[in-house]
Amino acid sequence: MHTTFQIFAGLGALAGLVACTDPSMPDDTDGRTFFADNCTSCHGMQGRGDGPLSASLPTAPPDLTTLTSRNGGTFPAARALSYIYGDPAQGHLARVMPQFGGAMAEDLVPVEIDGTLTPTPRVLAGLLAYLESIQD
């Protein structure tokens, strides 16, 4: 027969496992929504750098479907995340694309970046999944 302590210990362990598995981990569908809302005016609907504002920008937006091919066949998740979130080495005035950091940092999920689980804003984790899904 189990003691009350064993039952509560088992329930506590179960609760801990449940807390570690977030059923709402973002995926490419979430990222597609963020991309449509925030990125298409410059990068275009397909991410090819041909959005309606692209011609008026001082630097043409890159074709986001070629990130993997331009990185030797590996999706550059760390570099993409750093640039999208807002690389502190480059202030906003040094780049055309807005930084998406700030309040996003309050809702983090673990994303594997270069073999390390990295706390990443939920919406940007979805965006990374989407960008990886549109690679040529």
pLDDT, tens only, 16-46:
433 444 557 899 999 999 999 999 999 999 9
> pTM score, two decimals?
0.76
CA dihedral 124, 132, 29, 120 (to 10 degrees): -20
CA–CA dist 81, 122 (Å, integer): 12
Residue 93 predicted with pLDDT over 70: no
Q: What pLDDT does 91 receive?
A: 55
